[in-house]
Structure formats: structure tokens, C-alpha cells
Structure 1
Amino acid sequence: MPKRATHTFESEKDGLSDAQLGLHYCMCCGESVLILGPEMQLADLPRRRTDGAIVLEKGKVTYKLNCKPREGKVLKRTGGYERQYRFGCWNCGVLIGYRAEDSEDAPITYLLSDATGTQEDLYLQIYQVPQCIQSTGPHSVRVALEVRCGQTRRALRSVETEHVGISVTAPAKDGLANAELLDYMQKVLAVPRKALQLSRGWSATTKFLLVAGLQAVDVFKRLKAAVDTDMTAAVDTTMAAQADPLGEFGPKEVFTQGAASFQTRKLWEQSEELEDDLAPIPDKKQQVFIK
């Protein structure tokens, strides 16, 4: 019988940091179930053609599993049968992989592709990050925006599955709305201006915002916090207006501001070519804003 040897990764002895070891977590309970050696990614490992399981081959892949055995199964395959000795998460017991032999020393271990994930994958599941916020790299995120220009106040309206709704006060001409949008998103996401890049979306009212230096879950949490803050401010303003509908404003000023907002919204809904058709906003003499 060959002599068995166990090697434990320790940063002090091996010169490795925690960041160099690939930690993977159970996507059901969030407990750590797999440690990959340095400079190894699950995405780079081969997959089994039959079911897409990730192949962990001893001698070629350095890894450690934290699991407990489950009931074995016999599956009918084309041309015969296959016996699987299955194992699950050590904490919750959910199935995460199997072997062809009833031994931890089996030469090949198969890991189910969707059973484990990195910390970022786990956060995306926990926080239920919508599809409109997608990772395009390790520290790059693309956000789909639905923009309304010429509004009475700028705010983040909502974070939905298809897009993030945002309102700006500038008109959709001469790049004014884009400049205000980037300035506002810079403050919301707390990133340098150079980390943001704006591009056209799939319609006249949509944009794609590229964010560098953040992960998708971080972008989602900051956008969600901004939506909650803006909604609270809007409710406070509405309650104040209901308590004193006119206050220091006369009917003429209220009508002028409301008519401009109504006309802008009407044009947004009726036309997709906004840069030429958008009504000009009133000048400072015609506008009265609540401080």
C-alpha cells in the first residue's frame, strides 16, 4: 500500500496568504466546503461531458473538501449503469459531489457545478442582486439605467430586475443630462469620476453605466441605500406640501413648475428622439424650488 502524506497550507510556512487560496462555500448554507490551491480556478478545470460536473483529479489539482458521506446511487446510463458514492456539505448535508469509488483516496472526484461558489457568488444570492447589475470582470460592473430627464428633482427611483430607475433635472440635450447623471452616480457609489463610464442603452431612455473598482453586490447595496434615502426625502416633502399646499408659493409659480414637468414627461412618453423634441426648462426667474 502506498504511503499517505498530508500537507496543510499555512501562510507562515508556505508563504501563502488567504487571498491566494480559493475558498468556496456551500450555496445552500454558506459554510466553507472547498479549498483550492494557489492559482487555481474552478472555471479552468475540466468538466465531465455527462452531467457537467467539475473534475478534481488527484495529483493535478490541489484541494481539500469538507464534506460528509451521503447515500450512494446507481444511475442508468447509455450502454450500462453508473454507481455514484455521493457526499454533501458537512453542515447542511446538501449534495455537492460524488466519486466512482467508495473512498476519499479515489483518483477522481466530481463536484457539482452549481453546488459551491465564491464569497461574491454567495453574496449575490443572499442579497438577490438583480440582472440589471452584472459583473463584467473581477472589479468591473455594468448597470442598466432607465433615465428620466427634466424632472423636478434628481433621485434614484427604484432598483428593479430590468433596470435601475433614476431621475435628473437637466434636459436630454447638449450632454447636460449625462453630466448630471455621472455626477450623481459618483456621489451615490462613492467612487472617483474616472471609475465611471456611460454608454447608450437599448432605447432612448436607457443607458449602461460601467463601474470600475467595485463588485456587483457592493454596487447593489449602495444603490439600494440611495433609493431608500431618496424615498424617505420624497415622503417628507410630500407630507410638508400636504400640510401647507401653497406655503410661500403662489398658484402661478406652482402651476408654472408643474406644467413644465408635465410637458417634459409627456414628450418622454410620446417620443424616443428626445434631444430635439424636449421642451426647454423654465429659466431661473420662472422656477421656484423648495430648499
Structure 2
Amino acid sequence: MPKRTTLTFTSEDGPRVDSARLFVYHCKYSGRHAFTIDADLKKMPRRRTDGAYVIDTDEHTVKLYTTDGGVKFIKRQSGSVEKQYRLNLGQLPIAYKSDLNSNLLYIMDGAVTTYSNQNARRAGRLLVPPCISRSERSGLVEMRVELEDRSHRCMLSRVTADVVRVHVTGLMANDAVHEELFDLFAKVLNVRLSQLDIRRAKSSRNRIMTVESLTPEQIFERLREALKKQSMERAEKRQRRHM
């Protein structure tokens, strides 16, 4: 049986592929469409050096929506230096090649997700991201929170598939940060402090916030409203500065 040869596409022009076999991936941080592939990324092999998923474009059709991210030199633990031709979404790299003529495409570990609210909005419903889910053990809703410290004020930054990102004024290692988080989420979610609990995660940058008496859908909707309000306030400030 002859070997099937396919191409990697970087535009809207490409062959039609059975939609039942397509997997759509988005950037975890911006939510932008990264690529579509005719295989489940989780079933692809991974590199030992950095955990990147390895896609053989001689075996799989990949339609990329990336731009040239330039060349990056990576020094490995062995002391060797690896040349990477980066593929970006905006300023964020999501994939690379070690050789432009190679059939191997590497998708960076933790760069993409199948989660997107766009399709859910088209269907008339809101899809709650995986970072907000109900614990099977406790039955309570948990949020995975990622901290960015040394900010001028405590505020929400964005909600991605993996985390609710928050800017805090204190240092992440300082437990006073927890007070900031309690005050922020009590206000944003309109709940009492007694309905909230927090614990450290594996990374010093991350926390797990537990919320009582709200559903994941209610929490996500209130987070979205708070982010929308923050965006409107920033726009009003910019307008006042230019008046």
C-alpha cells in the first residue's frame, strides 16, 4: 500500500477532510484558533527533551493559523544547543520545527487546548472552562488560580482554559496574598468570605479556590461580568485622558 503524503497548510486553502476526524486546537492564553488536525494530539508521541507533541506531517494533515516566530536557540541540559524555527500566534510561540524541510512538527507542551467558547456561543450556550469544575471528592466548585505578583492593585486578569489569572499586590510567597484573593473573589462572585476557601497548589504561583453555594456556570458568568466591567472602566479612563 503506498505511503500517504500530506501537507501542512498555513492558510484557509486546503483539502477538505472528513469533519468527524478533525480536532481543533486553540491557544491556551489568547483563545485564538491555532490549528486543525486529523488526529487527537494526546495520542501523539512526545519529545523527551521538552515534552512537546510530535506530529509527522507525512502521516497527518495539519492546517496551521500561525505566523513566523523567528529562530530561537535552546540550550539543553546535555550542553547541546538546539535551533528552533518558531510558529507563533501573535507574540506567543505554540509550535516549532528543528528543520524547515523536516516533516516533523513539534507542538509545545501546554500551549494549546481544545477548549473554546466560540462554538458554545454559536450554539446559544456558555461553555465553562476546565479550570472551573466541581470536585468529585467534596462536591464543591474549585477554581485553579494563577498569580501574577507585584501589581499596583489586586484584580482579575483573564480566564483561560487552565487558570483564572489574577494580579496581586503582594508576593506570592506571602500568605497576605490569600487575604487579597478572599476580598477580590468575595466581591466578584458576590459571596460571603465564609463561602470561600483556598489552598496552595504544586506550583508556588498557583492556588485552588473553593466556592460554596454556586455552580460552575454561575461562577464563570460572574467572572466574565467582572472582566467586562474592568475593560469598560479602562476604556473610560483612556477617553478621559484624551479629552
What TM-score results when the alignment is normalised by the length of structure 2? 0.47
Larger radius of gyration: 1
Structure number with the higher strand fraction is 2
